[in-house]
Amino acid sequence: MAYSEDIKKVFRREGEGLGGSEITLFDRSLVVISGHKGLLSLTETEIVVRLPSGRLGIAGTGLFVRKASPTEIYVEGRISALSYPEEGDS
Amino acid sequence: MKTVFRVRTHRVVYLLNRLMRAGVSVDRIERKGDLLTFRTSARERLAVERVLTEGGFDRELFGFLGARAFFRGLFSRPFLAVSVLVTLVALFFFNGFVYDVSIRGNRFVNTAEIWAVLSENRVDGFTAKGALDLPRIKREIAALDGVSFASVKVIGTRLEVEVKESLPSVTPDISDYCPISSGYAAVVTRVVAESGTPRVSSGDRVEAGDLLIEPIYAFTEGDAPAPARGEVWGVVTHSLEVVLPAVSVGSVRTGESASRRSVSFFGKSVVDYDPPPYAEYVCEERLLYHGFGVKVTERVYSEIASRTLYHDFDLEARTVLLNAAAELLLSVPCDATPRGTIRVTQKKLDNILYTVLYYTTEQRIDSLSLVP
């Protein structure tokens, strides 16, 4: 991302990485997840993506993956929530 | 270049994860029931196929995008390939011919004349381009009367002929430069010369054919042509002489007559006229019926024969005089002003009756007045 250096400055993390993954949300209808480790589940109401730091749950309606590449996943739909469920959660 | 895959599976997450793990990027993912459609670059197509084969997925490769993929798809269907090949050959073949001709720019030069030149050069609606001698066609069209420039070129399968016509030449009206002469023997009373030089004046006596107005204008440096226009009036004495001998030979009707009919149907003769029944005859033709393509005409033949005619001057003198007067008046122009009445001299001499009539008028005598 172009603004990642600015972000590092704000959080005073110059010379360090920002983390294993990056999630960008556009107006609750588009989500781009970078640095993922694959999909865990895919339904119209919930998509779970595996991240280096755990799992990312995307809840909503009419959800679907429009593009999937080894580094990024593009999700489209009406998004109602992003969550980090624990390993034991269903 | 893109390849579209359609895979029948309910293990969508598994498949996408396998693809991503294999380093493949897919987009335009759509899912309808258990049918998953996605697109990938041609570069990654083999990797996708390998993943699908290893995973045992039922797939269909139904779309090719890009030139190489197009030809691969084309030659995998022999009928389509043959059709395309035939079409290409036909296009190449027909492109070698000219089968449309456009002629433009001619207003006064007849299109048929240009077509005649084209026909002589074997341009007949379906001509091989190689057989066309464009410079020659151009030369021959430019040589036509009234054409100053011609352009001939082939655009696609059309032969375009464009002509530029010569400007119409301005030639003086010869009648303007004709002299005005006298049409009668007369004594001139008025000369009104609008243009040109008058050669007579009032009181002059002229004969028929004498010059009245000459088509020149006298400048200081010399004469120059100028249209002769104007009117010349004069007093003309019209005369007519009629001679009637006491004995003459003439043709008279014998009273015998016969008719013959002709019938035609849409211009084609069905019944033709029989030959005339008399050696000497007068024929009168009249239309009896014309309609629905049928035309019926009739010829009435009246027999004539030569007879010796004996004239009684005492009885016929007046009739001869009246007929002669009528004939004389017919020869006088309508706009003539009479100067007195008709004067008559009638006398018998050696069994011949001479009748002479004179009629004097004032009228236009110039030759222009004789032109209808």
How high is the ipTM of this complex?
0.84
Strands B158-165 and B100-104: parallel
Cα of B27 to nearest chain A Cα, Å: 4
Average pLDDT score, chain B: 86
Does B27 contact chain A (CB < 8 Å)?
yes
Would you call A69 and B13 a contact, using CB atoms and an 8 Å cutoff? no
Average pLDDT score, chain A: 85
SS3 state of residue B345:
strand
Does A42 contact chain B (CB < 8 Å)?
yes
- Lowest-confidence segment of A30-34, B159-163, B331-335, B367-371 by average pLDDT: B367-371
pLDDT at B86 over 80: yes
Q: Return the pLDDT at B10.
A: 85
Q: For the segment B218-242, what is each residue's pLDDT rounded down to a tens digit?
A: 777 777 888 888 999 999 999 999 8
Cα of B32 to nearest chain A Cα, Å: 12
Residue with tokens 């999630």: A23
Q: Return the pLDDT at B365.
A: 92
Q: Greater confidence, A90 or A45?
A: A45
**Model's pTM, two decimal places?**
0.37
* B61 and B3 Cβ atoms separated by less than 8 Å: yes
- Lowest-confidence segment of A13-17, B214-218, B339-343 by average pLDDT: A13-17
pLDDT at A2 over 60: no
Q: Return the pLDDT at A89.
A: 59
- Among the partner residues A42, A66, A67, nearest to B12 by beta-carbon distance: A42
Q: What is the mean pLDDT of residues A33-57?
A: 90
Q: Exposure of B46 by Cβ count < 10 A (0-12 exposed, 13-18 middle, 19+ buried)?
A: exposed
Q: Return the pLDDT at A14.
A: 73
Does A67 contact chain B (CB < 8 Å)?
yes
**DSSP-assigned beta bridge partners for residue B362:** B235, B337
- Among the partner residues A38, A40, A66, nearest to B29 by beta-carbon distance: A66
- Per-residue buried b or exposed e for B195-211, using 16+ beta carbons within 10 Å of the residue's own CB: ebbbbbeeebebeeebe
* B125 and B101 Cβ atoms separated by less than 8 Å: yes
Residue A52, both tokens: 């280096």
CATH number 2.40.128.120 given to A17-83: no
Would you call A39 and B17 a contact, using CB atoms and an 8 Å cutoff? yes
Q: Return the pLDDT at A7.
A: 80
B167 phi, psi to nearest 5 deg: -70, 140
Q: Which domains does chain B have, with CATH numbers?
A: 2-75 (3.30.70.340), 97-165 (3.10.20.310), 174-233 (no CATH), 241-246+311-364 (no CATH), 249-309 (no CATH)
**Domain-by-domain residue ranges, chain A?**
17-83
Q: For the segment B244-301, what is each residue's pLDDT rounded down to a tens digit?
A: 888 888 888 888 999 999 999 888 888 888 888 888 899 999 988 888 888 999 999 9
- Among the partner residues B13, B21, B27, nearest to A66 by beta-carbon distance: B27
